[in-house]
Amino acid sequence: MTSKTTSAPTCFGELAGDFARGTNDNRPPLVFLPGLTFDRTMWRAARASLGTIDPGRTTLALDMPGEGESIGVFRGLESAIEQLHVAIASAGVENPVLVGHSGSAIAAMFYAMKYPVRGIVNVDAVLDNNAFSARLRALAPQLHNGGVAALWDELFAAMHAERSGPDGEAMLRATSRPRPEVMLGYWAPVLAPPHIAAQAIDAAIAHLRAHHTAYTLVLGEEPDSETRAWMARRFPEATVIALPDSGHFPHVAHPDAFARILARF
């Protein structure tokens, strides 16, 4: 049986998504979560490649609460986790592998602390976020006073969307819709005091390790020695893979290589 993606978006709970029901076998379903400001369009090329490399896999691509066509339903990070669970359950998906880009990879870890998953694929979200957390805290007064757009312009430039090729870059620029109130809500854990921000990641890692949850970190550049050392020390069971020269979007820059990573699950 060949998986078939619905042509029109469907609501799963409160969230918009595209669902492809595959063959009923032992392969875990894949749930795709786009990063902050983006929508599920960013997974289109990778899902198409997956259909060729690993046909018949059940997949669900969702717009996160407050993003894409799920605009208007963001009520905070804790509520977002519950909304994700309702959406996944509404699609009839059980024990999925969560594939999260950037901040949604962290949200996937928090989700796994409450609900069963078979694995997590983290797309370019470094788990040692102390530097980013410190930067956001230093900018907090400006961010809460209209400064989110300026910071996002700076952050987006550093993501190197141009490394995704002309079509990929155009898609990413067209689908990135920064909404300050939503962004600040998702950034709440890293805007928290340093010990609280670090404890949240540590607790999520500890839970995943205790439950032997498969975890793959896919980076768009070769990690530096500090990142590799941090992962080896704090999360030695994790698999770290680099798809170099991809910037922040390895799944867009190299959809076939990314699909082959997913097919291993």
pLDDT value for 129: 84
- Give the pLDDT band of residue 236 (cuts 50, 70, 90): very high
Q: What pLDDT does residue 9 have?
A: 64
The two structure tokens encoding residue 244:
């170099």
Taking the model in full, what pTM does it have?
0.93
- DSSP conformation letters of 190-209: HHS-HHHHHHHHHHHHHHHH
Q: Are 132 and 109 in contact (CB under 8 A)?
A: no
What is the per-residue pLDDT across 103-123, written as a single tens digit (0 to 9) for each?
999 999 999 999 999 999 999
> Cα-Cα-Cα-Cα dihedral of 186, 189, 193, 197, to 10°?
-150
CA–CA dist 65, 51 (Å, integer): 26
Q: What is the pLDDT of residue 196?
A: 83
Which superfamily, per CATH, for 4-263? Alpha/Beta hydrolase fold, catalytic domain (3.40.50.1820)
pLDDT tens digits, 153-212: 999 999 999 999 999 999 999 999 999 999 999 999 888 887 787 888 999 999 999 999
And the tokens for 225? 């020695």
Q: In 6-116, which ranges are E strands?
A: 10-12, 15-21, 30-33, 59-62, 97-101
Q: Is the Cβ–Cβ distance between 235 and 205 less than 8 Å?
A: yes
Return mean pLDDT, the chain: 94
User: Which residues are registered as beta bridge partners of 97?
Assistant: 30, 119
Which token pair is 102?
């950037």
CB atoms within 10 A of CB 135: 14
Q: What is the pLDDT of residue 8?
A: 53
